[in-house]
Structure formats: C-alpha cells, structure tokens
A and B are shown apart, each in its own frame.
Chain A
Amino acid sequence: MNGFGIVRGLWVTFKHFLNTYLEDFKAGKKRYFTDEGIRSRMDSKVEGIFTIQYPEEKMPVPEEFRYIPFLVYEEGANGEKNDRCTSCGICAKVCPPQCIWIVRTTDPVTKKPVPAPAEFYIDVDICMNCGLCAEYCPFDAIKMDHDYEIASYNRFKDNIYNKARLSRPVSYYAKIRPVNYAREEAERQAKAAKKAE
C-alpha cells in the first residue's frame, strides 16, 4: 500500500521521541546533573536520549584519555620543583608533527650539558595529541593531560606553552592516572630495591 512506509517511518520516530520522556520519568530528577545520572547515560544499557548537557555536565574521561602533554615535577620538601625531565630529547625526536622544542641546560663554568631542561616549549596548535612522547619517555617525565578546555584568545601568544605552563606536580599526575601511576611507582621501587641489593 502506498504511503504506508511513511507512516511506519514516522511511527519509529514517534516511539523514539516518547521513549526519551519515558526514560526521564523513570529515572526521575537524578537522570540529569548528577554523577550517577551522567554515568548511567554512558552505560551500554542506556535507553532514551543520552546526550550529556555540556558544559553544565561533563563526561568523565577514561584514564587513558590523552590531550596536550604536560611535564611532571617532584615536589621537594621546601616546595622546590624538581623536574623529572633530563632533556634527553626522545620526546622531541619521536614527535610526529615536531611540535616540541627543548633547550638543554649547560653548566656555566664547564660548558658541559646538564641533564635538565632550561626551557621546554610545545606548540599546541601543531600538537596532534598522539601520545607518543608520553609513551616513549624513559623517565616518566612527560604525560598526557586530561584537561581539554584550552581555548584562548590569542593564538600567537597563548598557544605556545613554555615550561612554566606545562609543569604539573606528581600529585596531579597521580590524581588523573592512578593506575598508571601505581604501576610506574611499583616498577621504580622494584628497580631501586634491586639496586640496593
């Protein structure tokens, strides 16, 4: 029968439309703007509409989520920042779009290189968020951040991150990537114990 296809199609849409309201009524107020509600809408059992109302709501990102890299520093007892980075340059060499610039420190007296970065730049306009730098860093000094809200007003000035902008404490790293952090710490302690023997 001609035209029946249209009616059936509309019926499908109408059912979906009704379903969104049904789910909202079933879950009640807690469906929106609560952590539980957000997680329930990311679950594979979710029915109805499952849009996350960004920016009022934010999707929790998984641990492996990667965005712009950051540099990890250890917090000293007196509040000094000890960079893990030794400016070995592996991240700058493995970077596919070549967006990392590192200035190595040289000792002012002996003129020999010192294993610490004097400056560290990342051009975030060029960074393709691939995560190779974090993957191949032998010192766990560069890691991928979870912060994806990095819009700025001046791309010439604000989108070249220097060392001060890139540095984050270890505690921040431990917070956003607990599993990775725990694994790396265990490895480090095992290595240290082996050395002590």
Chain B
Amino acid sequence: MSEQIEAHVTLNPAERFPQWLTADTRPGFQGYLVNPQNLLEFARAARDELGYDLLSSVTGVDYPAEGKLEVVYHAFQTTGGPILNFKVQTPRDNPVVPSLVGIWPGAEFQEREAWDLLGIRFEGHPDLRRILLWEGFDGHPLRKDWKEAYYEDEVKPFKSRWPDGQITRSEDKNPLKDNLRFPAGFDPESWIPDGDEALYKGFRHLMEDSGSELKTDRVILNLGPQHPSTHGVFRMVVVLDGETIVDAKPVVGYLHRNHEKIGERCSWIQNMPFTDRLDYITSMSNNFGYALAVEKLMNVKPPERAEYIRVMMAELTRIDSHLISVGFLLNDLGAFFTPVLYCLEERELILDIFEAVSGSRMMCNYFRFGGVARDLPEGVLEQIKELVEDRLPRKIDELDRYLTKNEIIRVRCENEGVLTAEQAIAYSATGPILRASGVPYDIRKADPYGIYDRMEFDVAVRYHGDIYDRYLVRLDEMRQSIRILRQVLREIPDGPILAGKPQWQVRVPAGESYGRVEGPKGELGFYVVSNGKANPYRYHVRAPSFINLTSLAEMCRGSKIADAIVILGSVDIVLGEVDR
C-alpha cells in the first residue's frame, strides 16, 4: 500500500475550536467552558467534526455564591476514547440555555430533569415540563437554598444526635403546619389537578386525522401507573389508532425521592448505601460506579485483591440482572411467572453469595473508597467456583435451548421495537440496547476501569436492533461474564482489600469527577463535585434505565399495544433508578 492516510486535522477540541472554548481552570476541574450563544455551534461541531456522537449526561450545578448555574455535558465517541466534558454558565436569576435536543435527541429527558430539579430553562426544547416532580411543586429542589420537609440541618451528621440525643420522630413534627410549602397563591383545598392537560395537549395534532380509510377515532390511553407489566409504578400515555400505537410518552417520577439532594446532605461514605437503592437489582454495580468517581478525586487505587473482588461482584451482578431481564421478558410475552422462576433459581444462589460476602442479599453496600468493606469469608470462593464452572453455564445453555429457537418468541420479538444504530446513538441509549442495534460500545473495553483491561472477553453485539437481538445480547453477555469470572477466579491474589485504614470520614480534594461503569442496564455514571468539605457539593447519577426510556416512544411507534409491553420489558428498566 503506497497510499497513506494522513490526519490533517487535529481532534483536540481546544486546538480545533479556540474561538468557542476556554479551558476550565478551577482547581480539580477538567473540560471546557462554552458561551451559551456558541453552544449550539460547538455542539454540532463536536458531533459532526470531532465524532462525539453520543451525549452521555446532562446535568446542572448550582453556585449561589457566584450567582451562577452551570450546565455540565458529557459526550463520548461510540468508537471509544475518553469523555468530552463541556459546561455552560448562566445567571442564576434568569437561567436560560439553548436546548441540545435538536443535535442529540437523547438530551430530552435529561434537560427536562435539569429544568425540574434546578430550574434551568432550555430554549427550543420541544416539551419542557417537569419530569420527576408534580406540576404544583414549589421551587427547584437541587438549588442550594431549597429546603425539604423535615429539614434539620444543611449537612449530616445532625447535631441533635450526639452528645445529647433526645429522640424525636420526624412524624411528630406537624407536617401541615411548618413543613409543607405551596407556591404563592396556591390553595390545596380548591386545587383541581390539571397536570395532565399539557401532556394531552401535546398529542392534539395526532388526534385530528387518523389518515385511515375508515372513519375511526384516535384514543389516548394511559398504561399504568398501576399496571402489572410496567415493572413498577410507571405510566405510558399512548395514542392509539385501533390497536396500533401512533405516539407514546413515558410518565415517570412516581417513586421520586430526590436521591441527589439526599446525596448532597450526606457525607461521602454515607452515600454508599443509598446507591444500592438506585437499581436495587444491581447494587454492586452502583457501588462500583460511585466508588470510582470518588476514588478519582481522592486519587487512591485499590489493592490488587480488592480489584479482583470488585470485578467478580460486578460480573455476578450482571448475570443476576440479565437472568431477571430474560425471565421477565417471557412474563411480558404472556408466559406468566413460570419461566421467571426458572431464572430466579440461579439468581437465588448468586444472592446467597452476596449475602455471605456483604451481609445483605440486595442492599450490598460492599464497596469502599480504595477497596471493599471486608474480605471474602471462607468457602465463598469455592461456592462461586462451583456456580461459574457448572451451574450458571448450564442455566444459560438451558435458556438458550428453550428460548432462542422457540417460535413464539421469534414471532413476537423479531423485527419488533426496532432501533437502528443511528437512532440508538442519537437517543443516548447505552448498554444492551445500544449493542443490540449494532454499536459495539462497551465501557469495559472503550474506556477500561478497574482491571478490565487485563480481562479477555468479547463485546456482545447484534445488528437488528429488535427485541430478539436484545435478548440475544443479554445471553451473550452472560456468557462473557462467565469468561471473565473464570479468569478472575484463576488469578485472584491474596493480600489487603483496602488501601489505607478504614475511615469513617474521608478527605476528598476539591474538584469534579465523572465515574462511569458498564452496568447491566447501560452506562451508569456518577458526576460528583467536591469543595473539599465532608459532603459532596454536587452528586448526580446518570441513570441508564432513565435515559434508555428516551427512545421508548421511537421504538413503540407503529407497534401493537401488546408489543409495547414487550418493548418496555426489553429496555429492562428498574423504577428505583428511573425515578431516583
């Protein structure tokens, strides 16, 4: 080959676009600052010229001392590599930022979330309503001056607990007198709920003409929130033409507890058990992501044995989560609960291991900054070995034998809920959904963390982007997890499991960091900002289940209503994480 391809253009954003970017020079901060008026231009250039095609996370930070709100974006290339971090600052009294939905449609839900929780208006957003809170909510809770009901103190630990801890129950404080606030002019007695009007109005243009030869009406139908097949308290508003879905909109937030505000009140270590409650099926993965984010700031590295234990737990979690996902897919197909229970048998054995190691089956709280909480008890490694060498592969093969060629599954799942690669990337889908659409993006390979760079495994990828391929990707991933587990079990060394001494108060230097792991559901990211104090200044969770829902409407359009349930099942959401 005599021809040579030379790279004439630099892909370093700062060299390429000096007119738009200024480096973020605050100590401990990375990335670039962009002016709001240049944001759209820069975002388009970052996507089209630099190749940052997937917008991972959008969130905001409140800086009341400077009178500013900051919107933080993280984008990455689906071909691999580090993350691009850029920020926009806007005055706190009139926060307006151009919306990036036109460039990355995956920003839709995340911008709505930032509007809901921080009150940042995104100009040009097609549907800027509250997403997690209800319409009559007073204020934006992630602003630093907002105080919750039963507010006691700015940060934990509360002073009333020690040394003179006279017990009080929050319930005994009168909730209707001084702990509940309404917007000005709001009277709860005369208020009639009108929150859904705006939602239904968004469908008005679809209601007028059905376009069919028959004179039929289109119907708006609410699926959920109380519905057995929505995997929790989830609601989907669909416009129906007969049985065919014309358009759909997910409505979430019924389990909202403002995880992020709780996180900002808590100290660093206190957050660890709360991360278990995000996606309660994959608590070990959640611990992993949070520990990574904080360790980056603290600049500690876990000892070898801890790294191996971490990977072992994360991969067992992946198998556990995918077993549930495959089982419940059958539930959604109408094979009610018998097949799920066949999958749950092996999950039960995995949970036994988690219980022996961490003390709890699901709320593991096992990772610490710089290691793990305690060493593996005696006999657990042998237990895991037995599972990995015999029981789990047998189960996966059994599922494969029963399901993969089953004609009902093929008829119902093939070519249903299709998301093309372009759409999946545009909608910021990650995890098995992205990989089932033919994009081999796996953070364990693309931006390795822990000791994944030493592990030998393949990225599971399929190319049709339908429900069937998502199922196959999950099956493949379980097999790859077993491969990783075999290597871990072979190589796990002896030694300490924590860097340094156990500390109940850690010192985290000021700065920001974004820790991300390839969770079973997709990219699980933790964005934390520290100001050097005992509590995180900002704590944001990039929840894969939540962001994967952005593409739900796209997948459902044109499907029958019974298939929408299966499509939702194939997205594999956990409402604890969606609503946070």
- Chain B contact patch, size range: 35 or more
Q: Which residues of B contact A192 (CB under 8 A)?
A: none
Does B406 lie within 8 Å of A131, measured CB to CB? Answer: no
Q: Which residues of A contact B342 (CB under 8 A)?
A: 16
Does B386 lie within 8 Å of A9, measured CB to CB? Answer: no
A168 to chain B, nearest CB (A): 18
B242 interface residue per 8 A CB criterion: no
Q: Which residues of A contact B359 (CB under 8 A)?
A: 62, 64-66, 131, 144
Q: Which of B107-115, B153-161, B295-303 contacts A (4 or more CB under 8 A)?
A: B153-161
Does A98 lie within 8 Å of B402, measured CB to CB? Answer: no
Q: In the complex, which residues 80-124 of chain A have their Cβ closer than 8 Å to any Cβ of chain B? A: 87, 89-90, 92-96, 98, 100-104, 113, 119, 121, 123
Q: Which of B208-216, B266-274, B566-574 contacts A (4 or more CB under 8 A)?
A: B266-274
Chain A, interface SS category: mixed
B415 interface residue per 8 A CB criterion: no
Q: In the complex, which residues 407-423 of chain B have their Cβ closer than 8 Å to any Cβ of chain A? A: 407-409
B355 interface residue per 8 A CB criterion: yes
Q: Which of A21-29, A30-38, A42-50, A71-79 contacts B (4 or more CB under 8 A)?
A: A42-50
Does B349 lie within 8 Å of A103, measured CB to CB? Answer: no
Does A93 lie within 8 Å of B504, measured CB to CB? Answer: yes
Does A93 lie within 8 Å of B161, measured CB to CB? Answer: yes
B179 interface residue per 8 A CB criterion: no
| A102-B163 contact in complex given A44-B383, A94-B504, C-beta closer than 8 Å | yes
Interface string of A125-165 (1 = CB under 8 A from B): 00011111001100000001000000000001000100000
Does B345 lie within 8 Å of A50, measured CB to CB? Answer: yes
Interface string of A3-17 (1 = CB under 8 A from B): 011101100110010
Nearest-neighbor residue (CB-CB) of B361 within chain A = A65
**Set B166, B169, B349, B378: member contacting A123, Cβ < 8 A:** B169
B363 interface residue per 8 A CB criterion: yes
B501 to chain A, nearest CB (A): 11
Q: Which residues of B contact A136 (CB under 8 A)?
A: 502, 504
Does B345 lie within 8 Å of A93, measured CB to CB? Answer: no
Does A113 lie within 8 Å of B163, measured CB to CB? Answer: yes
Does B355 lie within 8 Å of A61, measured CB to CB? Answer: yes
Q: Which residues of B contact A102 (CB under 8 A)?
A: 161-163, 165
Nearest-neighbor residue (CB-CB) of B358 within chain A = A64
B37 interface residue per 8 A CB criterion: no
Does A132 lie within 8 Å of B270, measured CB to CB? Answer: yes
- Chain A contact patch, size range: 35 or more
B338 interface residue per 8 A CB criterion: yes
**Set B162, B169, B335, B409: member contacting A89, Cβ < 8 A:** B162
A174 interface residue per 8 A CB criterion: no
**Set A44, A103, A130: member contacting B365, Cβ < 8 A:** A130
Interface string of B489-525 (1 = CB under 8 A from A): 0000000000000101100000000000000000000
A179 interface residue per 8 A CB criterion: yes
How many angstroms from the CA of A96 to the CA of B504 in the assembled complex? 11
B164 interface residue per 8 A CB criterion: yes
Does B165 lie within 8 Å of A121, measured CB to CB? Answer: yes
| A96-B274 contact in complex given A62-B356, A136-B504, C-beta closer than 8 Å | yes
A85 to chain B, nearest CB (A): 12
Does B162 lie within 8 Å of A93, measured CB to CB? Answer: yes
Does B386 lie within 8 Å of A45, measured CB to CB? Answer: yes
How many angstroms from the CA of A16 to the CA of B339 in the assembled complex? 10
Does B352 lie within 8 Å of A42, measured CB to CB? Answer: yes
How many angstroms from the CA of A87 to the CA of B165 in the assembled complex? 11
Does A92 lie within 8 Å of B161, measured CB to CB? Answer: yes
B387 interface residue per 8 A CB criterion: yes
**Set A61, A87, A128: member contacting B273, Cβ < 8 A:** A128
Does A130 lie within 8 Å of B167, measured CB to CB? Answer: no
Does A96 lie within 8 Å of B352, measured CB to CB? Answer: no
| A8-B406 contact in complex given A44-B391, A62-B377, C-beta closer than 8 Å | yes
B485 to chain A, nearest CB (A): 14
Nearest-neighbor residue (CB-CB) of B274 within chain A = A96
A57 interface residue per 8 A CB criterion: no
| A119-B269 contact in complex given A64-B355, A64-B356, A129-B360, C-beta closer than 8 Å | no
Q: Which residues of A contact B158 (CB under 8 A)?
A: 98
A72 to chain B, nearest CB (A): 17
A2 to chain B, nearest CB (A): 8
Q: Which residues of A contact B348 (CB under 8 A)?
A: 50
Interface string of B117-161 (1 = CB under 8 A from A): 000000000000000000000000000000000000000111011
B566 to chain A, nearest CB (A): 16
Residues of B within 8 A of A (CB): 156-158, 160-167, 169, 266-267, 269-274, 335, 338, 342, 345, 348-349, 352, 355-360, 363, 365, 373-374, 377-378, 383, 386-387, 390-391, 402, 406-409, 502, 504-505
Known: A65-B355, A103-B163. 9 other contacts (CB 8 A): A5-B406, A8-B406, A44-B390, A62-B355, A95-B161, A98-B161, A101-B166, A130-B365, A135-B502
CB<8 Å pairs between A and B, sample of 24: A5-B408, A9-B406, A44-B383, A44-B391, A45-B386, A50-B348, A61-B355, A62-B356, A64-B358, A87-B163, A92-B161, A93-B157, A93-B504, A94-B505, A103-B163, A103-B165, A104-B162, A113-B163, A130-B272, A130-B363, A132-B270, A132-B273, A135-B373, A144-B359
Q: Which 4 A-B pairs have the closest CB atoms?
A: A101-B165, A130-B273, A89-B162, A5-B407
Residues of A within 8 A of B (CB): 2, 4-6, 8-9, 12-13, 16, 42, 44-45, 50, 61-66, 87, 89-90, 92-96, 98, 100-104, 113, 119, 121, 123, 128-132, 135-136, 144, 156, 160, 179
